Amino acid sequence: MAASTDPQTDAAQPPLRAVIIPVTAFQQNCTLLWCTKTMKGALVDPGGDLDKLKAAVAQYGVTLEKLLVTHGHMDHCGLAGVLAKDIGVPIEGPNEGDRFWIEGLDDAEMRMGLEGQSFEPDRWLVDGDTVTVGDLVLDVVHCPGHTPGHVVFVHGPSRLAIVGDVLFAGSIGRTDFPRGNHQQLLDSITNKLWPLGKDITFIPGHGPCSTFGHEMLTNPFVGSRYG
């Protein structure tokens, strides 16, 4: 078969680009992702440091279309409501199971020293939903355990997942918070993430990226070497 000349399938011009911008004292990996065809983009988990995030959006020439939220923790979405209001874009996610966390953003103790303000997402997400960013379509996977309403965003054609605090390179999310559940988290990872494929690269909420395949083998909590 002849090489494709369609720019969307040209490897030199991938349909999705993503950059990681660590924010807050927790160094949370906010992700700016965008559709290279339309240059429309989304910030995933804009927890804080809004000036830094706005500078990145401007630097890459992206038109921000929406904010996506994986879960209701302060370092992931403490200032999402403020940013959405400021620039006039909607918030999609997380699952409504995290309503109590998002309402708790007004409670200084639950914010653990970070800035934050509660908000009402324009759209709560459920398992099997899709979200769009420009011409990109991302799948929504509900992965409870770290929090009850945690969702993961997956772009199949790019083999990329943004997993928040479900899974990390060499670790998994904490489950000692209110309504956390360790077994549920393990089930989310093994039953919902692993079937997506070994070749998926994931951006976790903190620390370096990895692949599902590498974690399937080597992760001390969910890796087969430790099973």
Per-residue binding string, Zn ion, 152-181, x by CB under 5 A, is -------------x----------------
| Span of 11-19, 71-79, 118-126, 133-141 interacting with Zn ion by CB under 5 A | 71-79
| Span of 35-43, 48-56, 72-80, 119-127 interacting with Zn ion by CB under 5 A | 72-80
Q: Which is closer to Zn ion, CB of 41 or CB of 173?
A: 173
| Interface with Zn ion, residue 150, by CB under 5 A | no
Minimum distance between the CB of residue 36 and Zn ion, rounded to whole angstroms? 30
Q: Which is closer to Zn ion, CB of 146 or CB of 155?
A: 146
Taking CB under 5 A as the criterion, the residue among 73, 92, 133, 149 binding Zn ion is 73
Q: Which is closer to Zn ion, CB of 35 or CB of 152?
A: 152
Number of residues in contact with Zn ion, rule: CB under 5 A? 2
Minimum distance between the CB of residue 111 and Zn ion, rounded to whole angstroms? 13
User: Beta partners for 18?
Assistant: 33
CB burial readout 204-216, b (16+ within 10 A) else e: bbbeebbbbeebb
State the Cα–Cα distance between residues 176 and 80, nearest whole angstrom.
Answer: 24
Minimum distance between the CB of residue 219 and Zn ion, rounded to whole angstroms? 18
Minimum distance between the CB of residue 34 and Zn ion, rounded to whole angstroms? 24
* Sign of the CA dihedral running 213, 72, 117, 160: positive
In single-letter form, the type of residue at position 167 comes to: L
Q: Which is closer to Zn ion, CB of 38 or CB of 118?
A: 118
State the Cα–Cα distance between residues 49 and 87, nearest whole angstrom.
Answer: 15
Q: Which is closer to Zn ion, CB of 92 or CB of 165?
A: 165
Give every strand in the sheet of 40-44, ordered side by side.
Answer: 16-23, 28-35, 40-44, 63-68, 91-92
**What is the binding site for Zn ion (CB under 5 A)?**
73, 165
